[in-house]
Every structure is written in structure tokens, then in C-alpha cells.
Amino acid sequence: MANVITYVRPRLAGLFSAVLTVALLGCGAQPPRPAGGASGTDTSAWAGTARTFLSTLNDRQRAAASFPFDHPERIRWAYVPERRTGIPLQMMDAGQRAAAFEFLGTGLSERGTGLARGIIELEGILRELEGAAGSPWGPQRDPELYFLALFAGPDGGTHPWGWSFEGHHLSVNVTDLGPHGQIVAPLFMGANPARVPSGPRAGTRLLAAEEDLAFELLHMLDPGQRARATIAAQPSEDILTRNVSVVRPMAFAGLPAAEMTTAQQRQLRRLLELYAGRMADSAAARQLQRIEEAGFERLHFVWAGAHQPREPHYYRIHGPTVLVEYDNAQSNANHVHTVWRDLENDFGGDLLRRHYARQPHR
């Protein structure tokens, strides 16, 4: 793949970026307010942080970053090293990058933002490792090819808004519907290498907890439960849902939470909350509340592959409203892909339809 950036711009990108800038810079949004605990800013603050970020850009940069809310690129997402919609880190100076990462913190928690930074850092480590091994992919791994795109309605209203921050092994997709809340989904995070094999960062495991908590849960199950949870001796080469915009209905499989002991259910909660905790407080709380309302006991824990680390394995947590997938099968089980899907509200989904039904838009 050629290491060339192509910016996706609609014909009226310049005009739209001006409309978006006026809408954000003149909307009177309050400055960002940090949320309590170790999580990102409150959802009401994101417009203020977007305003701050846009104010650092020149006209050409705003045109690269700004799109209509109904642009088809809003619901196209990917986690492979390819061209993206939006403005790349490569096109920003140090101050603009700082503003971009502050903006990222309106959708992600402190841990989530740290993971995003770690994924970008891993891209540089991967470039060095593959370059040393003579891989043709080495020169194409670029920590500066992560793109931020903002999507807003053309009428200058305050909602709906959306934005994405994407690059290799990272896809953060946020839809803000005001009183209907903020949806942070799909949310993809990966790690290659999952365990850094050499160099100054040797032994680093960016997504260690996602693996360790799941193995702990697996080994808490009795033999019968473990057999019920395990659906295949070999995992697939990737997460099953890949990067589809809408997840098709999937049959429940594996071990239901209803058949777990209290201690096992507690461990399942810990694992689920670890993934939800990548999001800002308000978004995570809404997701977990919906899971409880739909019935925590209806969650299913599914395993495929080896029952010990460093061999190919896969798991998922699947319920009426949520699908979490984890896969570590590539690169000799040293290459992790994880994703959180909201089965009702990815990219706004049902909430967005309700919003439009109640709020007429031109």
C-alpha cells in the first residue's frame, strides 16, 4: 500500500467547514469540565473542546477535518492501515495535536485516551520491528497517520454531532445526541505486538488486562461450564464482525451468565466494565445500565481456541444490547483485536432515529 495521504473532501467542503466553524465557535458552548474519577470530560463539554480544536486550524485544515453529519464516511470505519477521512496528526503542529487529544478525551476515559496514545506508540514500535525484519510493511507503519474528522448538521444546530478518530488498530466513533446522550461505538482498539518482544519497551502488554481477566474467568469455570463456553478448538483469524457498519443478528452461543456462580458473574462484570471503562463516564454508565435493564443474566460468554496464553484464542461477551469481541490469533498469538459494538445504537442507531422523529431537520 503506497504511503500516500488522500483527503476525502466533498465538493463543498470549504463552505461546510465555514458553517461548522461558525456553528461551533458561535454556539456559546461552555468550556470543557472534567468529569469525576479517572474518566473523560462530560458529554456537554465536547462542543466547547471541538471549538477549541477548530480555532487552532487554518482554512485548509478545517476543510480536511469538517464534514456534514450525513456524509457516508461517518459510518464507514476501519482498523487497517489505510487512508482515512479527516485531518491526520501529520498535518498538525504540536499545539494542534494537544488540542486533538484533549478533544479525544471528551469521548474516552483517561484510561481509554491512554490506550489510544499507546496504540499510536505501538505503530512506531511495529515499524522498527518490521523494518529490522525486512518486512515491506515496515516503512508503511506511521504513527502520524491517525485522523480526526468532525461531522455536524448543516443547519448550525447543536445536535446531532459526530466525530471519529481513526488509524491502524484504533477506531473511536462518537455520536452526540444531546438529551439522548452520547454513543461511543463502534470502539475498536488493537495491539501489535500484543507483547513487545525486544527493545526499550520489551515485555510491554498494552491490552494485558483484557487478556488476563478473561483467562481468569475461563479458569474459574468448572469443566462442564468451560466445555459449554468453548465453541471451537481454533479461533478465527480476526473478530467475527470485522468492520461492518451494522452488526447482523447473531445467535447466542456459549455459557449464559444465568448459569454462572456469583463469583463468576462478578468476574464477568469486571471484564465487561473494563471495556466500558474505555469510554467517558456518562457513555459507559448508560451502556452498563442498558445491559442491566436487558438482563445481565442474558449475557453469554464464548471462547474459542487455546485455554492458555501465548496460543491463539478468542472470546466474546454477547447480550441483547452489546457485543464485545477479543481476538489474538495473528502473528503467533501476539496481535490483539478488540471491539465494543452497541447492537442497537452504533453510530447513533435507534437513538438517532428517535431523535430525528422528535426533532424535525431540514
Residue 114 shares a structural domain with residue 28:
yes
pLDDT at 30: 34
The range of the structural domain enclosing residue 40 comes to 13-193
Q: pLDDT grade, residue 158 (50/70/90)?
A: low
Between the alpha carbon of residue 286 and those of residues 49, 293, 357, the distances in Å are 22, 10, 21
Element (H, E) at 52: helix 46-55
Mean pLDDT score, 334-349:
98
What pLDDT, in 10s, does the model give residues 22-70? 445 444 333 333 333 334 444 456 778 988 999 999 999 999 999 999 9
Do 323 and 242 lie in one domain? The reply is yes
Do 281 and 186 share a structural domain?
no
The residue among 1 and 16 whose pLDDT is bigger is 16
Q: Are residues 327 and 232 in the same domain?
A: yes
Q: What integer best gives the mean pLDDT of the chain? A: 88
pLDDT at 155: 55
Highest-confidence range of 152-166, 172-186, 308-322, by mean pLDDT? 308-322
Number of domains in the chain: 2
Sheet strands (E) in 141-297: 147-152, 161-167, 170-176, 182-191, 230-232, 255-256
Of 143, 161, 193, which closes a domain? 193
| Segment 319-334, tens digit of pLDDT | 999 999 999 999 999 9
* Residues 20 and 152 sit within 8 Å (Cβ to Cβ): yes
| 42 C-beta neighbours (distance < 10 Å), count | 18
> So what's the pLDDT on residue 32?
32
| Final residue in a domain of this structure, among 193, 223, 247 | 193
Structure confidence by residue, pLDDT tens digits, 77-101:
999 998 899 999 999 999 999 999 9
pLDDT attached to residue 361: 54
Confidence band for 7, pLDDT divided at 50, 70 and 90: very low
